[in-house]
Amino acid sequence: MEWFKLNKLTLNISKTCFIIFRSNRYNSINIPDSITYDNITIFRESQAKYLGLILDEHLNWNAHITDLCNKLKRLFPTFYNIRSYLNEDHIKTLYYSMIHSRLNYSCIVYGLTSNENLNKLQILQNKLLKVILKKPYMYPTNALHNELSILQVKDIINQGILTFVHKYLHSELPDVFNDYFQHRHDINDILAGERNLRFLIPPHRTEIGANTMKVKGPKLYNNIINKIKINTSTK
């Protein structure tokens, strides 16, 4: 709090809360429900919205996924009303402005959630596309996305993660991410050259550990490098 005073800033107490991020395996017996600042009480919350993301104390992103699903559901009436007046170009513009923009925003953050949550988003994406394209309920998902060359939810997230890795490799991230990933240095990687060095995948034993950028990023990147090597060797 001293930082605010030194920089002549005022904290808006009415919009301020605090969250203690913790594992859901531990109870909250010893966690304070409030703290005091200049004789003003700031209360602990289980979740809060920050820069469009709903952060929850367990970082499982359940609350954010629910909020995102509700926003997508509100598009159905609009799509039903206007779909008869749209050509393919209109549909693509509408999709990227109203659906993709919501799914893509901070996807490398909320996208590290459970498969159950991601499936909820995928179902809604499929339903909205079927409505706007006037497709039957049982229309195949892959054909639905291929028709407009639209990525599915997990592919949007994977693209975001790989973009993050690409920026890391080209030193386009803030300094705080320096040495965020570690390269492998076994003989095969060294012989392949610097550009083909794969990343070390940190050990992990839980689903939470598997759904972290430090694990998913290297896995996706290594998979691409391996496919490039296979395609090159079979030419």
Give the rounded distance of the alpha carbon of 157 from its chain centre.
6
- Give the span between the Cα atoms of 217 and 201, in whole angstroms: 9
Please name the residues in contact with 212: beta carbons below 8 A apart, sequence gap of 6 or more.
Answer: 112, 204
**Among 51-60, 104-113, 119-128, 218-227, which is the least confidently predicted range?**
218-227
- Count the neighbouring beta carbons within 10 Å of the beta carbon of residue 161: 21
For residue 140, pLDDT beyond 70: yes
Contact of 156 with 118, CB cutoff 8 Å: no
Q: How high is the pLDDT of residue 186?
A: 61
In the 8-state DSSP scheme, what is residue 13? G
- Give the span between the Cα atoms of 67 and 119, in whole angstroms: 15
pLDDT 10s digits, 167-181: 999 999 999 999 999
Q: How high is the pLDDT of residue 228?
A: 67
More confident of the two residues 27 and 147? 147
Q: How high is the pLDDT of residue 196?
A: 56
pLDDT 10s digits, 67-85: 999 999 999 999 999 999 9
Tallying the residues shown for the chain, one arrives at 235
Residue 100, phi then psi, degrees to nearest 5: -60, -40
- Give the span between the Cα atoms of 58 and 48, in whole angstroms: 12
Q: How high is the pLDDT of residue 234?
A: 40
Q: How high is the pLDDT of residue 233?
A: 47
- Bridge-based pairing of strands 40-43 and 47-50 is unpaired
* High-pLDDT (> 90) share of the chain, %: 62
More confident of the two residues 208 and 1? 208
- Give the span between the Cα atoms of 128 and 135, in whole angstroms: 10
Residue 42, phi then psi, degrees to nearest 5: -110, 125
pLDDT 10s digits, 82-134: 999 999 999 999 999 999 999 999 999 999 999 999 999 999 999 999 999 99
pTM across the whole model: 0.86
Q: How high is the pLDDT of residue 187?
A: 55
